[in-house]
Amino acid sequence: MKLSEQLLKEGEGILRLKPTWVPRSFCRPGKRIKLDPRDYYVLGLNKGGIDERWLSSTTWAENGPGTPKDEGLSYIVSRDGKKKMLLRDAVSELKGKLIGENLYKKYKKWPMFSKFFDNAGPLPHHIHHRDQHARRVGSAGKPEMYFFPRQLNNHKGEFAYTFFGLNPECSKKQILECLKNFTKGDNHLLDYSQAYEIELDTGWDVPPGVLHAPASLCTYEPQFASDVYAMYQSVLPNGQCLSEDLLWKNCPKEEKGNYQYLLDVIDWPANVDKDFKKHHFMRPIVIHSDKTYTEEWICYLSKLVCAKRLIVYPNQKVIIKDNAAYGMILIQGHGSMGKWEIETPTLIRYGELTNDEFFVSEEAAKKGVTIVNKSSNEPLVMLKHFAENPDLIKFFKKK
């Protein structure tokens, strides 16, 4: 029996995942993702601080030359912690048995991951490429969505506003000039964008091709399985400068130096949409709510990825069914899920195992997962990230 089969059998269709930490050289950690304060720079100053935890990931983190081959990839671990293997490899071996036949037939991989990104200050106005541009560097476009969980945001950092898109009245000529001025100091790209104050327990949809400068909140971010991006803003409000190589990241070699190409990466109609918030802001939508549990759609405007929040109330036991495989992260409380004990850690050392992150096979999800909240006082709260989910389509058809 292969190790992937052993681990799937051990968990009765539910796989335990090891925390996956990712540094970014151009970011400053916000220190809200429960990593031990001693370990935020454990990988060295040249790698940068750890400001992200990747969830249910089969996607390599594109962190430049020298990046370890498993950076960003989730590991499955056995109950005793002695056996482990990459989730990516388990998907390759188990195929549809793990993620569902239709999904595997379409993508031949688990086509999404989620993450917590957690920064002390705002990120630069940047972009994720659409398919036609990402394909030129052997990748895929990257739609993503944001949700700002209250449990991970006891403070909002230095700048609680996210810039999205561009002002409707700006011109392509003005943005082209900003791009050309990237190495000359502040290129004033934010002069042509609009900021929105972030509200906890709400979310935003960010399609590929849309410029965005995320706020300094700890953010839950379901996204398609890709790590393509380019930074279009040169200097942050705190004076931090970005290197020019980030402007040309994921740009084909033959296009480097071609600022018109950078402009073409921008989905212009989507960026200058005068009703941007109306089309991209997301409040949770209740699927079910009673004294036992509440389940909500929290990320639902993308066709390729989506997410739910499940709240099980104190001393309650529920059986939850889904028609798709999913990854989950527990953000409050303790109890059990299937045969696994689950708990929300207070502090995690780098390399330490936890019982807060799992992957549920399609078969187990359809059969129904038994979840027990073993606290008499505190709700149990988990976030569940899916790729394409037929339940989402059915739900909105009913609406």
pLDDT in tens, the chain (399 residues): 999 999 999 999 999 999 999 998 878 999 999 999 999 999 998 898 999 999 999 999 988 788 999 999 999 999 999 999 999 999 999 999 999 999 999 999 999 999 999 999 999 999 999 999 999 999 999 999 999 999 999 999 999 999 999 999 999 999 999 999 999 999 999 999 999 999 999 999 999 999 999 999 999 999 999 989 999 999 998 888 999 999 999 999 999 999 999 999 999 999 999 999 999 999 999 999 999 999 999 999 999 999 999 999 999 999 999 999 999 999 999 999 999 999 999 999 999 999 999 999 999 999 999 999 999 999 999 999 999 999 998 888 776
In the chain, domain spans: 19-69+107-399
Share of the chain above pLDDT 70, in %: 100
Architecture of domain 19-69+107-399: Sandwich (2.60)
- CA distances from residue 113 to 66, 187, 326, 387 in whole angstroms, order as listed: 23, 32, 10, 8
Which pLDDT tens digit goes with each residue over 121-171? Answer: 999 999 999 999 999 999 999 999 999 999 999 999 999 999 999 999 999
Q: Is the pTM for the entire model greater than 0.85? A: yes
Q: Looking at residue 399, what is its pLDDT?
A: 62
- Going by C-alpha positions, the residue among 12, 251, 35, 213 that lies closest to residue 125 is 213
Which pLDDT tens digit goes with each residue over 203-246? Answer: 999 999 999 999 999 999 999 999 899 999 999 988 889 999 99
Radius of gyration from C-alpha coordinates of the chain: 21
In sequence order, which residues have a C-beta less than 8 Å from that of residue 105 and are 6 or more positions away? 96
Q: Looking at residue 210, what is its pLDDT?
A: 98
